[in-house]
Amino acid sequence: MDEYARVNIEAVEAIFKSVWKKSNTSIKGDALEMSAEFLLLFAKEAIERAKASRADPNSDIPVDESDLERVLAQLMLDF
């Protein structure tokens, strides 16, 4: 994954607010940054596990949905 990959903090905030529709709940900037970092790490881990689960882990073929589906259950349990 690109070393400059980032998760948009405003997008994370919008996701949280969509869940908190009728609530006065708010989130501080530090918590948003940590949540965005967590989502980025989760995505990186999913991609690395998907690559490792292939018959040829060193393949240059991009990861697709079927690769991710194979590792999803264990990934969710680990996180």
Q: Is residue 67 part of a domain?
A: yes
pLDDT greater than 60 at residue 16: yes
Q: Is residue 30 part of a domain?
A: yes
Q: Is residue 38 part of a domain?
A: yes
Q: Is residue 33 part of a domain?
A: yes
Give how many domains the chain has, as a whole number.
1
| Domain limits for position 44 | 9-78
pLDDT of residue 1: 52
* Residue 6 to residue 41: CA distance in whole angstroms: 10
User: Considering the entire predicted model, what is its pTM?
Assistant: 0.80
pLDDT of residue 55: 84
pLDDT of residue 21: 79
Tokens for 63, please give them: 């990861």
Q: What is the CATH number of the domain that holds 13?
A: 1.10.20
Q: Could you report the per-residue pLDDT of 22-79, keeping only the tens digit for each?
A: 788 889 999 999 999 999 999 999 999 999 998 888 888 899 999 999 999 999 999 7
Q: Is residue 46 part of a domain?
A: yes
**Do residues 1 and 47 lie in contact, with contact meaning Cβ atoms separated by under 8 Å?**
yes
Torsion sign (Cα): 31, 32, 36, 37 = negative
Q: Is residue 28 part of a domain?
A: yes
